[in-house]
Structure 1
């Protein structure tokens, strides 16, 4: 009898405490993900070309129906492949082929409830998510927290932006992903109480680079961010309970069977895979069909420089005329239009714009009860009844899109509002831009009428903050490697006024060059760009700069990393049709001479927009060698653009 009891204990011990390892390689066999189950604890690690990117990092989650982070038993593992092609004109590349190997590990917790972890590994990207089974008669659960983590080697440095304190900032609208970045910082210094926003960039010594983020967040989940660095690990963290003035759950309520969003890790020896990744879109699918074909392009908007006082009929006419003179597709009419212009006069203003070949975006406040944002139109987007009634009018008068502002939270409650606005807007043929907002997480593909989000320390802060003006070039050099690498970024830039106000004669002086500003039109990617030009620029800006701005596209067929280091300088190439644009900015205080490798432009004569030593922008022709090489000097806080 004692023998049988002892044998049973040994068998149980074998099941619970055995080591289980499963490995999966990328199609090119350079990227390896290893899943391990050790003493009931699930972990994963990542190697690239034999070098450690992530050490054993925790997996799992905790629900109201059980714990899936410990006391886990292995059930089975299956492997497969994904091979698909798709078209997406709103992102950095229009035609994408996605190939990945898959590993699905099915596990069981101590209560004999099953879940699975699905890994998809392409040549430079790892994506994984949790898949929950139906547990008996249980058809719903609350995921309270994830234990998913990222353990980098000790040599790693970080490039991170802090999560904003909830219910802080203007009208208690934070968090809105509008903090600055600290670059090349030690992990030990990453002690922000609120954690850090996605995406996060990491340099793993001489091993390479990693960009971590999430994608596929919709109304069925909350958005997440990174914790502070603790006990050697960053973990996936759910929203602070104080967001939305304390209303709404901080976890996620999902139906069973159900899935979580994807966690993504993009790796490379250089920054090339980081800049060029399409993983946020590779693993998601459209949630509905477009009600019509949406048109992307460029626009003007008065508020960014002329501010609230410009919200009158006469000034909006001037900006419509500016858009028409620049051959732009749109004008954005910002806050207070309902009170200061009115619905009736807005209809005539839209007719005027349309007669000039310009279509209209209108601004709306998203708020109803989440924060103290007070600008109008208010209480038009936060409920289905008011929203549909408003959108019916918008469609009738010919409005083409909306900019919806002031969300300030990542709870599932807010994710539902994003999705409801997008879905209803599609029914009425309206495109949507979000401001005061969270990071877009695969939304360009998921929502056909979605055309961009702010979620960055954007152009408005250049107007309001001397510190941001001084750091403009610094932040610009970061965005292609971090924020804009994973989603469209509606920055609202290209400020050609010398002073960032209506008079353009004194006050907030712009500290970057005109060539820098032209470069950001290419460097920052968003399918609808509301540029910060002003009517006076038609007379006080050189014609060659205006000609460039009349021609620059906003949608791209291909994006290439050329050179750069985040926080110092960046050089990016984008192709529209057969035409390449190469754009660069220099964040440093000294001129930088670089030798570019441009194989796609070898032997060609290009137009160059650059700055001289006096920081004056000029246009000239340059020849790329037959080897595809070109040496260029970028002035401090300057930039350049090359094109045909």
Structure 2
């Protein structure tokens, strides 16, 4: 009765205002009874993917909006509905309106969308697919309105909220979201916790560098009590997998995370007030009309759609275009092994020379260069590098006032006037990119800084890598000069503590399914030193094999790869390893999942032009024998890199993939394999 009454009020208000009353599922005027029935109805509306196998259900219950997601399975007893996300809440609470309760269904509209774009910097250079769309308009008891927009692809669902202008109100502050993800009780999780704010090195956290727990029981409390960072991977028993993330975050919203679970329900949580040293509000604000970022789900019986998904780029649009042509490639990087003391003119010359010898496009010069080399002598170093066919990336701190970083250059990237002046100098010298480090959290204030740096850098022809930073959220498509983010427990941690070396293989076999599945990952890896120091004679000890390291150059995707090679590797490792590292590309046309399980092993294939690279990583302490199917290389000869019969002696040989596409792999303990061949 209450809903019918509200519907009638809503209709009267719309008619008196001269508004159009939409029929359910269309744009024609509808009789009062139809509109009232639509507003009062609680029946679920079902939307399926173009292939008919993924479903989304949306409904109202007791004035609260919800959705469910799953897939259809064909079994002996016919088609079966498999629910992967149970009844999960939708809604926003804003400073002027509550869209989480007392809602009525105003109208709905279904449609289709063609998704076509080119994106050289991601896992697929060309995307061409179809999606079905569904939008529902809801109104609260005060007749204030909100829409929820859904995009349903094969294996993927994305949704966001849209707020029209509300009378004379032209802006909104979102106080919290009731958006949630409710999983069945049999679910286990693959999650990494959100850290406390303002802890760690020079009070620079959170920085998305915490450790994963694999196959943890759902409901396990997060390490710091702040929930989990995106993305999150969930295994729903034997029914399959769900990958949850968000995309489309820019200067108009904050980055979000997952709360701890309550009875299987994870909700969207905003940044902690302490982030950014307390600067900025946790709650985002934007102008009306406006929308929130997209929440994304990839749902499947098996892991291939998880590894291969492109949904985080499918639903976003470029924020600006560029007049520049950016070149992607490989780089050398002294800091990762030689550390701060290497940031001097002579050592950087050695790394430039190594980049030239490898045929690499770039050398990254890390922190303290302003102190130890200086701007004037840096101009000479840049000219020297250019004479060797090598271009330069320069490191900068993001900071000013939200952490205690001393490494220079500081107090530049956070100041728009100083930033533009510095970027003009870099453009004049021919610098090609910057690496900006030590951000302060996920507040909207920080998202504005990311976007401002990207925008100003593009004005000066500079590519941008972010480090000590948040997860990229669709940025490869949104910003033409964006070329990677760390946002992971990356290579530097292998230098700092033996624990991370001991767990390197475990973490590496997670990333293709989780972190690297939703965005570029600037890991900075591929070590060929056995001891991780300057002399290859001290410090932490690498426990993975050389071939494992070669395989990560393929398994980890980022369009600019600053590898952890050292000048001594040119002569102290087998020549075929260096030859492989000279040839390996950093941009790919497509990716195919072959086999694996998160945290145990992974086999995936990436294509660059006509060349297929198959990378295999084993996290186990025992050798692993696999027979994999490689239809893209069926019947062809391939270069085969493996760890030898003893599991310790790297080998390179020619091999043949069977005509049926099958190939037998033996992966050494914490070892790997790589195959390289041409598609027929």
Normalising by structure 2, we get a TM-score of: 0.92
Gaps of 5+ in 2: 10-35, 73-80
Does 1:167 find its partner at 2:190? Answer: no
Does 1:237 find its partner at 2:237? Answer: no
Kept in 2: contact 1:61–1:68 (CA 8 A): yes
Does 1:127 find its partner at 2:150? Answer: no
Residue 637 of structure 1 is matched in structure 2 by: 670
Match of 1:350 among 377, 382, 385: 382
Match of 1:315 among 331, 347, 350: 347
Structure 2 residue matching 1:583: 3-state secondary structure: strand
Residue 38 of structure 1 is matched in structure 2 by: 61
Residue 295 of structure 2 is matched in structure 1 by: 263
Structure 2 residue matching 1:478: 3-state secondary structure: coil
Does 1:113 find its partner at 2:136? Answer: no
Kept in 2: contact 1:90–1:444 (CA 8 A): yes
Match of 1:63 among 74, 83, 94: 94
Q: Which moved more, 1:92-101 or 1:559-568?
A: 92-101
Does 1:47 find its partner at 2:70? Answer: yes
Matches within 5 A, 1:180-219: 180-192=211-223, 193-219=225-251
Gaps of 5+ in 1: none
Give the 3 Å change call, closer, same or farther, for CA 400–18 of structure 1 in structure 2.
same
Q: Deviations over 1:201-226 (max 9, x none)?
A: 01111111110000000000000010
Partner Cα distance (2:672, 2:70) in 1: 36
Residue 400 of structure 2 is matched in structure 1 by: 368
Residue 46 of structure 2 is matched in structure 1 by: 23
Cα deviation, residue 424, structure 1: 0.2
Question: What is the aligned-residue RMSD (CA, Å)?
Answer: 1.6
Partner Cα distance (2:590, 2:187) in 1: 30
Partner Cα distance (1:167, 1:183) in 2: 26
Residue 474 of structure 1 is matched in structure 2 by: 506
Could you list the structure 1 runs, at least 4 aligned residues long, displaced by more than 4 angstroms after superposition: 7-18
Partner Cα distance (1:314, 1:400) in 2: 21
Match of 1:439 among 461, 471, 484: 471
Give the 3 Å change call, closer, same or farther, for CA 614–600 of structure 1 in structure 2.
closer
Cα deviation, residue 14, structure 1: 8.5
Residue 583 of structure 2 is matched in structure 1 by: 551
Q: Deviations over 1:296-329 (max 9, x none)?
A: 0000010000000001100000000000000000
Kept in 1: contact 2:397–2:413 (CA 8 A): yes
Residue 28 of structure 2 is matched in structure 1 by: none
Residue 658 of structure 2 is matched in structure 1 by: 625
Does 1:485 find its partner at 2:523? Answer: no
Cα deviation, residue 291, structure 1: 2.6
Kept in 2: contact 1:61–1:67 (CA 8 A): yes
Cα deviation, residue 99, structure 1: 1.1
Structure 1 residue matching 2:120: 3-state secondary structure: coil
Q: Which moved more, 1:410-419 or 1:282-291?
A: 282-291
Kept in 1: contact 2:38–2:107 (CA 8 A): no
Matches within 5 A, 1:605-620: 605-612=637-644, 613-620=646-653
Cα deviation, residue 85, structure 1: 1.2
Partner Cα distance (1:98, 1:462) in 2: 40
Kept in 1: contact 2:641–2:652 (CA 8 A): yes
Structure 1 residue matching 2:194: 3-state secondary structure: coil
Does 1:93 find its partner at 2:124? Answer: yes
Cα deviation, residue 98, structure 1: 2.8
Q: Deviations over 1:504-553 (max 9, x none)?
A: 12331111110000000000000000001001111111110000000000
Matches within 5 A, 1:138-149: 138-149=169-180
Matches within 5 A, 1:190-589: 190-192=221-223, 193-589=225-621
Cα deviation, residue 336, structure 1: 0.2
Cα deviation, residue 17, structure 1: 6.6
Does 1:152 find its partner at 2:152? Answer: no
Q: When the two structures are aligned, how many residues end up with a matched partner?
A: 640
Kept in 1: contact 2:150–2:160 (CA 8 A): yes
Match of 1:81 among 109, 112, 115: 112
Kept in 2: contact 1:272–1:561 (CA 8 A): yes
Partner Cα distance (1:599, 1:44) in 2: 38
Cα deviation, residue 615, structure 1: 1.3
Cα deviation, residue 417, structure 1: 0.1
Partner Cα distance (2:322, 2:553) in 1: 27
Q: Deviations over 1:113-160 (max 9, x none)?
A: 111000100001000000001000000010011000001111111000
Kept in 2: contact 1:364–1:402 (CA 8 A): yes
